[in-house]
Chains A and B, each alone.
Chain A
């Protein structure tokens, strides 16, 4: 922007103002000129244009010149010719007008008319006279006269009177404003006309462009005039269009020159380029360049510089610096192309110089402008490519002049070139504090260090700017250039940083070729840095890169092997690198264990399918997969010292383990094991390609009202699913190669990995139980280079190891039968050593609960409750059986089952293990007391309770009673074949209770005992005994019943009332005197008439029977059992006995069965069918 205002007046272009001539009273005008010049630009005026162009609001300026009739001639030069003409007069005297002025005006108008000028105006300046105001206005003013003389319809508004503002400012304002507005209006009208005419002319000229004589330079200057005018009018945009048109026209010519015959004028631009001055981006017209163009001496660079400067001047005026930047880039690129197309002879590097300077200047201008216009953001986006280009050009220059690092010192030719180039750049503009781009470039070309500095500055800035605007790929591209530069500088470390960054991004986005190329650069850097680790790793990767030539790959394969053998020889640790670069894990499968589960100290095998990308075989020293324990809270529970394996095929099994613990362990492992899988293919891990999902598309047929098909459509039900974008930067960061703990790992050593698929069988001997998963895969190649996978397969693949430590079972021997107390049982202690080895001198201590005895089966030692069992030493997975014999002694209690426990105390277990044992008694006894009047018998029955078939032979049954009671054995003597079996065979015994009737019968204890042994065994017989109590066994009452026909009848007949004689006799002393009898008759046979029950009182000393007679009626005929009679103790209400119930109601208490003897219990009476006749035959049976 600088220099816009203080530009020298002799320059064309921006300094131009529309020229307005003034005729008539020049002196008068001179008084008005200053305010007029000031007033015109103060306001805008709408410029209506023809050809439907949009109207524009325009600020005008004007410069006034004295009218000169010789210069009126309408020049083609739009700028220099006057555009508008004004005749000034202040004549108020009509007479004077008539005599002098009229003629003058007429001549002026005629002259204008002769030149075809219609843009004029006549201004009458009046002096406002206060005195005049009161008077009547004169009939005709001078203006009216002038109008009358010269005006035609179209020109009526060209006559204007204005009150002189110098003399009376206040009054003049309105008329003055009108004048200024008119002038603006008419000037624009004039321009409109002029431009239309000019454009026509221009078009004509352009049409001739294929004329051999046509000259672009001339045309350029011509059209530029239009641009100047438009610029002058403030229409920078349209001015720019003019330049753009010229630009395009020129470019087209140049392009066409290649194909068709090139026009003569183009040779101008073929002249050798001698100057490559920097473009200067100001609003000024670079006059020197313009002169060159006019003189046809401009070189292509000159012309392009000029055009670019003008274009950017327009853009600067429009405050669009960012467009300058993009324009600069395209100009520079076009110009370079044009230089080559036109075969312009140019010093090597000059074009680059020019381009570099153009870019740098543009950047400078943009910065300057942006800083003042808050357009920084807009500019930055376009600055980056400029910086990029400037950097590239500088690099080109550096290469030419031998300034690049690593290149030999510049030759004299190169030094000469520098001088040439510097000269061609010309001098930079003076009065500048900061070094101009020209200065900087010159300086840079002078020495290597300054070149470096400038280059790095530009590159870093370009990269930073690219990053800022988000063009990361460009930034990385520059990063690569920088890397190359730094690498040449010897700062390989810096280079590697850039390259690594680039490499990562290429890899992430799948640009394999680029990644491969970058790797090649990296490997070179590594070699330079003598970074053996990196060199080896990269060589390996390159050797596996399918995108590269096989020769390159083989070369780096050899390099890798070489560096492993030579450079890494002394290294103790292996070099870690990514597995995925060189190998591909296809699948990993755990080989199922023979035993179903993986057991400690046993081999676990994993089949690893790996694809090698190496072109040759490599020797894998060790392949391993790390094993990681699954971390869970329940871990403590899942690493038990002992296992809970049970011998499940035993029905009603005797397990050695606590059930409680087993359950918890089952639960905890179940949840975990269900998550683990034993095999995985790497392809399975990839997320499913969403594009492969079927689209939710349905077809739809739409019918019209008349059922004809209107249209068939397909509809996507859920467009969100299919149109979902998933590319929003979710790039995985490649995980750094961290080495897992390979202390526990599946290992295979020394295997040759062929190119392509390899199947490896890795082994691991589990020494710990628990749940494990597979982690990282490691392949150690040649003992030095270790390829590590990221823990891809670790998530799911795993296995569970259980310790089958020493298991001890107490098992029954075949045939497995239930345990029966009172019998000796053969059992065995089974010790499976599992995966452990049993050492010598280990022993298991067995303890039993009370009543359970144990001994070794082999020797006939006494049975004990504690037994120490020595366990022979054994190898893993051996089983030792120790036969034992168990005996549970019979309990006097008559229980259905007998529970015992054996505690196993093993040295390798902390706690004793409980083995619950369940015994059933061999047989059970039931007994009854039988009464015959006063005699008592005891009937004992033995039955077997064993659940399985078992037979006992019984001998020596005895019954012993305490007290004075004797029993008489009624059993057959010497009966040795008494048997009891569990199939239901029972054995019964009978004794009579011999009791002294005089002795009061106390309750007594009886003990039954019998010798038993198993029928087929040789064992000595054992005693089965059972005690029971006998109470209230003395017979107190005897009841007799008798049925008699009613009086007058001989027989009992159905439906005839009979007489039931009931007699109760006391046979022994008793305290119970009050008795109640109840006749319990079967209601289908007997009907008791009257009371069925009654209370009788027995006199304590009377032994006579009490008799009761009841009327009963048999209902059916036949042998009927007599109705039974129940006798109960009758306890009357308010009994004296306080211990007894104090209730007011009488109660009944039954007698014990032995206390009442019912003599007529089994009696039957023959009842005859009822006979209507009168004779009855009572018959008693």
Chain B
């Protein structure tokens, strides 16, 4: 269901972007990158509004619990929905799904939350590699495989 998953570093540069699905038309990897990139705006907005505790336009979407790393739906387009998650070290995880699943069932928030949590765990595993330099893009094939798997199965 998820078509794209991105790990974005503290400085908002992409550490990992992985996508699956057809590479045709508007659904190619590049267009997903635009989605992920713009999602950062919404994500940062979310972080600052929750940080200030200001209930603004996103009052209903505001995180009730500051400790909840899952940020929920960041924004949606006609075709995609973009969810966000931020770790305590400000590593941003972004998950892009189709607006509807091919099976028709609506994407449940809980599923996305679970997927992002799992992605967080995968990321943590990946950066635990002593040869990985924090802040560098993740090139681990294993991570890539696991993330692709996650995208296919879980959501």
Contacts and interface: CB of A to CB of B under 8 A. Distances in A.
B75 A472 contact: no
Which secondary structure dominates chain B's binding surface? loop
A213 interface: no
A511 B14 contact: yes
Given A333-B99, A337-B99, A510 B45 contact: no
Contacts of B42: 471
Interface string B1-18: 000000000111110010
A315 B103 CA distance: 33
13 contacts: A252-B106, A258-B103, A323-B60, A392-B78, A470-B41, A471-B42, A473-B37, A510-B12, A510-B13, A511-B13, A514-B30, A517-B30, A727-B90
B149 interface: no
B78 A336 contact: yes
B121 interface: no
Interface string A507-538: 00111011001000000000000000000000
Given A255-B105, A509-B11, A337 B41 contact: no
A692 interface: yes
B139 interface: no
Interface string B40-64: 1110110000000000111010000
Interface in A444-467: 466
A727 B12 contact: yes
B24 interface: no
B56 A378 contact: yes
B36 to A, nearest CB: 9
A15 interface: no
Contact of B105 (A259, A392, A692): A259
A506 B34 CA distance: 10
A470 B45 CA distance: 8
Given A727-B11, A727-B90, A474 B134 contact: no
B12 A509 contact: yes
Contact of B57 (A256, A337, A381, A474): A381
A502 to B, nearest CB: 10
Given A333-B78, A474-B38, A513-B33, A251 B106 contact: yes
Contacts, number: 95
B76 A330 contact: yes
A252 B10 CA distance: 38
Contact of B34 (A326, A381, A477, A692): A477
A381 B76 CA distance: 15
Category for how many chain A residues contact B? 35 or more
Residue among A378, A381, A385, A473 with most chain B CB within 10 A: A473
A379 B17 CA distance: 33
Nearest to B42: A471
Contacts of B38: 471, 473-474, 477
A737 to B, nearest CB: 23
B41 A472 contact: yes
Contacts of A595: none
A506 B96 CA distance: 20
B151 to A, nearest CB: 19
Contacts of B77: 333
A326 B29 CA distance: 27
A639 B17 CA distance: 57
Interface of B: 10-14, 17, 29-30, 33-34, 37-38, 40-42, 44-45, 56-58, 60, 75-78, 90, 99-100, 103-106, 133-135
B14 A258 contact: no
B75 A511 contact: no
A471 B99 contact: no
A385 B44 CA distance: 16
A258 B41 contact: no
A726 B90 CA distance: 10
A725 interface: yes
B29 to A, nearest CB: 8
B100 A689 contact: no
Interface in A471-512: 471-474, 477, 506, 509-511
A341 interface: yes
A725 B90 contact: yes
Interface string A858-877: 00000000000000000000
B133 A510 contact: no
A473 B41 contact: yes
A745 interface: no
Contact of B104 (A256, A322, A506, A509): A256
Nearest to B41: A471
Given A259-B105, A689-B133, A726-B11, 6 more contacts: A255-B104, A336-B78, A378-B57, A466-B41, A471-B38, A509-B13
Nearest to A375: B57
A251 B103 CA distance: 14
A473 B38 CA distance: 5
B45 A471 contact: yes
Nearest to A378: B57
Nearest to A256: B104
Interface in A590-644: none
A382 interface: yes
B79 to A, nearest CB: 9
A258 B13 CA distance: 39
Contacts of A329: 76
Given A472-B41, A473-B41, A691 B30 contact: no
Contact of B135 (A259, A379, A392, A691): A691
Contacts of A470: 41, 44-45
